[in-house]
Amino acid sequence: MDNVCPHRGGPLGQGMIEGGKVVCPWHGWEWDPQTGQAAHNPNARIAVYPMKIENGDVMVEVAQGFTDAPGT
């Protein structure tokens, strides 16, 4: 999923997971990590990307298929 909360640009990667939702650490907006949909507004979404773990490597699908995630 995208790391930037569209509300005020909060770093979602620094947030907590509560009730299956990623919670923005700045203002508490909640996002579904599978759909990117906001808990408070079904029309608000952030980008999500298909991923899989293959032989211990995290693979993230971008425009043309799966590629190694940075730092793996």
Residues 71 and 45: their CA atoms lie apart, in Å, by: 26
Which segments of the chain have a pLDDT < 50? 66, 72
Residue 65: which residues within 8 A CB-CB, separation 6 or more?
none
* pLDDT value at residue 62: 76
Give the residue carrying structure tokens 């508490």.
Answer: 28
Helices (H) and strands (E) in the chain, counts: 0, 6
Question: Domains of the chain by range and CATH?
Answer: 12-68 (2.102.10.10)
State both tokens at 61: 């699908």
Residues 37 and 52: their CA atoms lie apart, in Å, by: 20
pTM of the model: 0.72
* pLDDT value at residue 10: 93
